[in-house]
Structure 1
Amino acid sequence: MENSIKEIARVLNNKDAKDIVILDVADVSNLTSYFIIATANSEPHMEALRDAVLEFLEKNNLPVIYYDKGRGYDWMVVDGGHFIVHLFSEKGRDFYSLEGLWLNAKRYSTEELLKG
């Protein structure tokens, strides 16, 4: 797995995101290579997580294809081309069940991601 993907997981972890998971969808999707999924505990927290990811991408000269700029969402994305960060409220994560839609993808847990 690419270091930038692990670093994004670390950025989210450092901002107290919950239940961080990375799905390697390269073999099961033509959309992207990785989904980085995390849960926020409030709307301001979700915005802070999004902004932290955007700041990391900018500092590391990584592309941003699209990101949600609005407020009041249960699901926000930051599209970096070869990865998409999905930030959910607890309600949104349960409702959309993104991980359930990609059961064939290799899954990395927070513990695996933050080693080393």
Structure 2
Amino acid sequence: MKANTKIVYAEDDKIIARLTMIKLKTAGFDVHYLDNGNDVLNSIKTVLPSIVLLDIMMPGKDGITILKEMKLIPEVKDIPVIFLTSLSDKSSVTDGLKFGAADYVLKPYTTDNLINRIRKQIKST
């Protein structure tokens, strides 16, 4: 993994976000955090991260809508997206994968598992 790999991380649960960001930063990632879906796409276009972590259910735009919009923008369409979800509804996860998500992680998750999945996606790009 290259130094300071950039991540755009969108999560509306501030407690989960705080704990996850501590672990991601400790693991050497440069994390750009947003707590709602409205500003995520602009952040992705500005930061040009190596990977995007998206909560499916967020205030403003939901993760699937953001992913669909990403796929229409040449500069960001190939950035891998990992969905984070507590939804037991498998159709949301299936929809996300159908629209191009690289992976998904069910909440509650261990940060070690999340970091391993991030590294796997970054290596494969």
TM-score normalized by structure 2? Answer: 0.34
Per the normalisation by structure 1, the TM-score is: 0.35
Which of 1 and 2 has higher RCO (CA within 8 Å, sep 6+)? 1
Whose strand fraction is larger, Structure 1's or Structure 2's? 1
